[in-house]
Structure 1
Amino acid sequence: MTPGWIEKAPEAAQSYVTGRRLDEVECIVADIAGVARGKAMPASKFARQEKFYLPNSIFLQTITGEWAENPAGSFTEPDMILTPDFSTATAAPWTADWTMQVIHDAIDQQGNPVPIAPRNVLKRVVGLYEAKGWRPVVAPEMEFFLVAKNIDPNQPIIPPMGRSGRRAAAKQAYSLSAVDEYGPVIDDIYDFAEAQGFEIDGILQEGGAGQVEINLNHGDPVALADEIFYFKRLIREAALRHDCFATFMAKPIEGEPGSAMHIHHSVVDLKTGQNIFSDAKGRETDAFLQFIAGMQKHLPAAVAMMAPYVNSYRRYVPDFAAPINLEWGRDNRTTGLRVPISDPGARRVENRLAGMDCNPYLGLAASLACGYLGLLEKESPRAECLGDAYNMDEDELPYNLGDALDLMDENAAMREVLGAEFFAVYQAVKRNEFKEFLQVISPWEREHLLLNV
């Protein structure tokens, strides 16, 4: 018998359980890292309850499982109330039984959105746009690596074995035969995505060995962050079926390019439905240039959310197809801010700085916050970069997590947009992670310093 709440779910979720007995529901929220936290319960129990509880301390947990100090003071771990957002209900098609996943909204015991929950942070930013009569639109690109199983962290990560019996090769960007090497994994990704109701705009081979890019259609930022959150899990599950790992680390393999989450942005006028980046004659507007100026001004303070780990900054190196600048240009992939070729209705700005290791809710929130501030501040960007921005001698971006956190903490405008409580918690979690990393002695240090200094 189909549970009554399924009627509130998307069509794909309804189709998945039609004629089947639903066994389990996973009730989930994303923590600061973007890891799914929550509870799994029998479907019959889920149908009888309207909410459940989790301690708000889940947002103080670091990627290593440690706990950051609560910047608000005492560590009493009060419960949050989690209520299902049925519009996010989707299948978990890799499980042995019939299972659904549902993302939950986090509110406090007074009924207010929990300000440190990443999904709520993104909703806050979208709400600021809407209060000005705008609707932000995004289109993310997801890059990731398929790699051989790595069960010993002391061993380097290597590419997976392809169907030819050879390791996946690098420097094969856009090669269809390279994608065919791990075709069975891609087939499962397509099948899982279809079962979950997700539309893939395209899959292609990137420049790294075993590196794949998936493009998503443009749409609502919260809905697309939900999809990326789900996609990371389904891609990992598809890889595990074929004896390999999928990783979203920014730089998993030494000597290979890193994995980005490029974000395309446009803004629509709520009254007219028109893209505010183009005027009635199809020309670029002041708002378009102001959005770019806001990104140039505030992105240094947003990097800590778009490059959230020490490994993230290994992607920011010259000559590895990663933007390490805040220049902007039309159809110029060497700039950190690219304006793709498009018709006036689809005019947009692509932020190429974010890494695929970021929490999608926070990466989108931070990027949108920069553009929003630009629209308010009404400043002009620097002159367009017409050449190779990789060769420009600039030092505007932080190149390690500590410096990035300092720039974030100093930016009062970003704190106001994203919320002071979130800022404090994010700083606490990330500084804890950075402190832990600084206590680790690397193989490079042992090799070159042990007997030479």
Structure 2
Amino acid sequence: MADWTEHLPDAAKAYLENRRLDEVECIISDLPGIARGKAVPASKFARQDYFHLPDSIFYQTITGDWGDAAGEEGFIERDMILRPDYSTATAAPWTGDWTLQVIHDAYDRDGDPIPFSPRNVLKHVVSLYHAQGWKPVVAPEMEFYLVARNLDPAKEIEPMMGRSGRPAAARQAYSMTAVDEFGPVIDDIYDFAEAQGFEIDGITQEGGAGQLEINLRHGSPVKLADEVFYFKRLIREAALRHNCFATFMAKPIEDEPGSAMHIHHSIVDLKTGENIFTGPAGGETEAFYHFIAGLQNHMPSGLAVMAPYVNSYRRYVKDHAAPINLEWGRDNRTTGIRVPLSGPSARRIENRLAGMDCNPYLGIAVSLACGFLGLMEEKRPRKQFRGDAYEGDGDIPQVMGDALDMFEEAKDLHDVLGPEFARVYSIVKRAEYNEFLQVISPWEREHLLLNV
């Protein structure tokens, strides 16, 4: 035990101080972002260097069905070798005993990374930046809803009951009173985050009824994706303690704004430590414009990853706090690509397209991949948009089927993300989409049953 616990982060060590560790949850993200793995006694974890899971966990749809993505050998469920990344060890403070979670990386029997494991996909994209002498830096924003418990899928989702005994109200963006309504849930979110060693940059009330936003400090893409992966579970657990659900659906409530995972990007030169988006005199560089052009030119093809479900496309509605196109502008929240106010050293580019329902590893990987292609292609973006971009035309896919068609044809993007990942992802999401198309919705029954 002493050997492996020496490698733990300080927060995990503090959590276990004067306590006996009972259990370790060995976890890995599947394609939707669900934590898969095994819970093992701490004494057993101390004796193991790795454990096995079948590669079929990456062929599952969100419903638990399977995409036919196993390859030439067929569906034999070959075992992967999962090795712990001790730097990710963190508390599971909602459990009844003393438990740690540890994220693992997936390898094949030859020791090569499994190319369709989401964390490996992101690591691969980051390595392409490093090979050019760059270090990508990201800062994600997480939007989500706290809603009333919903045990019947046929029933519409409703806002949670606030501390006042009234349902959460909409149109209260940035209201501190609205935040206070969820005080007990937020208190637990803060407590869990502190126990896990996560630094929250701020919590605000968003425009939807019961919609909150958590901002994270900027840093390494893999580390921040790990935190978002952990945060989704943390927030759900905090909500359950107070008789409500936390949902990361892109559009859970009709006529309310959707939930995004805005991603802020900057790039640091590994030799100088300087932001490559800023020149010696403090102005914007060619790299800054090339990155924007990469987002404009390639994000439509990557949208099937950043907006991975049929519900995701219900978020892209005019005047509902979500972009409908890929215009870019300075300090303009109606554009899909925003340049926030900042000093020269903190100059960054915000991708506002990604939904909160995306897998954080894959959403960040695709956003970085689009920017990387822009840097390699050295193209200029469209002219900066001035005014209300909602008045313009949409230039992104409107339904999941169209987005998948574009993704499947995007060979340049496949080369950055990994062709084997692109193959598996496309098959799994196509199976999921086809499954959805077999479902008859309440709208169809209401309007078509007797009228057509």
TM range (shorter): over 0.9
Shift, 1:387, TM fit: 1.0
- Corresponding residue number in structure 1 for 2:117: 117
- Corresponding residue number in structure 1 for 2:244: 244
Deviations 1:3-23 (A, max 9, x none): 431110110000101110100
Matches of residues 289-438 of structure 1 in structure 2 within 5 Å?
Answer: 289-394=289-394, 396-438=395-437
Secondary structure in 2 aligned to 1:426?
helix
Q: Matches of 2:67 and 2:351 in 1, distance apart? A: 30
Secondary structure in 2 aligned to 1:111?
coil
Deviations 1:47-85 (A, max 9, x none): 011000011110001100011102523111111000000
C-alpha contact 2:324 2:393 (8 A) present in aligned 1 = no
Letter in 2 for 1:407: M
Q: Matches of 2:106 and 2:70 in 1, distance apart? A: 19
- Corresponding residue number in structure 2 for 1:195: 195
Q: Matches of 1:173 and 1:70 in 2, distance apart? A: 43
C-alpha contact 2:276 2:288 (8 A) present in aligned 1 = yes
Deviations 1:182-234 (A, max 9, x none): 10000000000000000000000000000000000000000000000000000
Letter in 2 for 1:443: P
C-alpha contact 2:59 2:70 (8 A) present in aligned 1 = no
Letter in 2 for 1:223: K
Q: Matches of 2:12 and 2:85 in 1, distance apart? A: 13
C-alpha contact 2:257 2:320 (8 A) present in aligned 1 = yes
- Corresponding residue number in structure 2 for 1:234: 234
Deviations 1:14-46 (A, max 9, x none): 010111010000000000000000000000000
Letter in 1 for 2:437: L
C-alpha contact 2:56 2:70 (8 A) present in aligned 1 = no
- Corresponding residue number in structure 1 for 2:278: 278
Deviation larger for 121-130 or 64-73? 64-73
- Corresponding residue number in structure 1 for 2:13: 14
Deviations 1:238-265 (A, max 9, x none): 0000000000000001110000000000
Secondary structure in 2 aligned to 1:5?
helix
Q: Matches of 1:415 and 1:186 in 2, distance apart? A: 40
Q: Matches of 1:67 and 1:381 in 2, distance apart? A: 40
Secondary structure in 2 aligned to 1:227?
helix
Q: Matches of 1:274 and 1:213 in 2, distance apart? A: 30
Shift, 1:90, TM fit: 0.1
Matches of residues 68-107 of structure 1 in structure 2 within 5 Å?
Answer: 68-70=67-69, 72-73=71-72, 74-107=74-107
Letter in 1 for 2:219: G
Secondary structure in 2 aligned to 1:8?
coil
Letter in 2 for 1:273: G
Give the aligned CA root-mean-square deviation in angstroms. Answer: 0.7
C-alpha contact 1:142 1:262 (8 A) present in aligned 2 = yes
- Corresponding residue number in structure 1 for 2:60: 61
Letter in 2 for 1:41: V
Shift, 1:393, TM fit: 2.0
Q: Matches of 1:116 and 1:3 in 2, distance apart? A: 34
Deviations 1:264-321 (A, max 9, x none): 0000000000000001110000000000001100000110000000000010111211
- Corresponding residue number in structure 2 for 1:219: 219
Secondary structure in 1 aligned to 2:163?
coil
C-alpha contact 1:328 1:385 (8 A) present in aligned 2 = yes
Q: Matches of 1:163 and 1:217 in 2, distance apart? A: 29
Deviations 1:345-376 (A, max 9, x none): 00000000000000000000000000000000
Secondary structure in 2 aligned to 1:436?
helix
Q: Matches of 1:6 and 1:274 in 2, distance apart? A: 35
C-alpha contact 1:225 1:361 (8 A) present in aligned 2 = yes
Q: Matches of 1:6 and 1:181 in 2, distance apart? A: 40
Secondary structure in 1 aligned to 2:404?
helix
Deviations 1:134-158 (A, max 9, x none): 0000000000000000001010000
Q: Matches of 2:328 and 2:268 in 1, distance apart? A: 21
Letter in 1 for 2:408: D
Shift, 1:179, TM fit: 0.7
C-alpha contact 1:192 1:234 (8 A) present in aligned 2 = yes
Residues 1:168 and 2:168 are matched in the alignment = yes
User: How much identity, in percent, do the aligned residues show?
Assistant: 71
Letter in 1 for 2:343: D
Secondary structure in 1 aligned to 2:6?
helix
Shift, 1:328, TM fit: 0.3
Secondary structure in 1 aligned to 2:212?
strand
What number of residue pairs does the alignment pair up? 451
C-alpha contact 2:138 2:220 (8 A) present in aligned 1 = yes
- Corresponding residue number in structure 1 for 2:151: 151
Q: Which runs of 5+ in 1 are unaligned?
A: none
C-alpha contact 1:71 1:424 (8 A) present in aligned 2 = no
TM-score by length of 2: 0.99
Q: Which runs of 5+ in 2 are unaligned?
A: none
Residues 1:210 and 2:210 are matched in the alignment = yes
Structure 1 segments of 4+ aligned residues over 6 angstroms from their partners:
none
C-alpha contact 1:147 1:158 (8 A) present in aligned 2 = yes
C-alpha contact 1:85 1:105 (8 A) present in aligned 2 = yes
Letter in 2 for 1:326: L
C-alpha contact 1:6 1:13 (8 A) present in aligned 2 = no
- Corresponding residue number in structure 2 for 1:40: 39
Letter in 2 for 1:277: F
Q: Matches of 1:163 and 1:356 in 2, distance apart? A: 26
Q: Matches of 1:116 and 1:333 in 2, distance apart? A: 33
Secondary structure in 1 aligned to 2:329?
strand
Q: Matches of 1:138 and 1:331 in 2, distance apart? A: 18
C-alpha contact 1:275 1:346 (8 A) present in aligned 2 = yes
